[in-house]
Amino acid sequence: QVQLVESGGDSVQPGGSLTLSCAASESIRTYDCLGWFRQAPGQEREGVAAIFHGGLRTYYPDSVKGRFALTLDNVKNTLFLRMYSLKPEDTAVYYCTAGRASSCNSTRPWEFGRWGQGTQVSVSS
């Protein structure tokens, strides 16, 4: 199973921007779905971005739509989450995931497959 390592989390002021990275141990071209989800202390997991079948379909929840963008570097086998206009409610640990076949029949990225240790994003003034 692919190993994923998230990085790039930081503390940022509201309205700021941040880009998270996810390094994969194998080619991301072979995966049917790639995504990001987040979890704040005491709260449930929330999917924030997903891409399916090489970009034929994408998903963003209303909470981040227009502010977050999932991008790929297929040469470096790296997944990115570009975040703009950050809000305090975006504070959470962010995780990336990858999956194939039936595991991609979901809009919940944590159901795609294994994820890494996550990276902390803190948004406050």
Pairing of strands 11-12, 119-123: parallel
Beta bridge partners of 12: 123
pLDDT at 79 over 90: yes
Q: How do residues 13-71 score in pLDDT, each as one tens digit?
A: 999 999 999 999 999 999 999 999 999 999 999 999 999 988 889 999 999 999 999 99
Cβ burial, residue 61 (10 Å; 0-12/13-18/19+): middle
For residue 1, what pLDDT is reported?
78
Tell me the C-alpha distance between 101 and 118, whole Å.
24
For residue 98, what pLDDT is reported?
96
For residue 62, what pLDDT is reported?
97
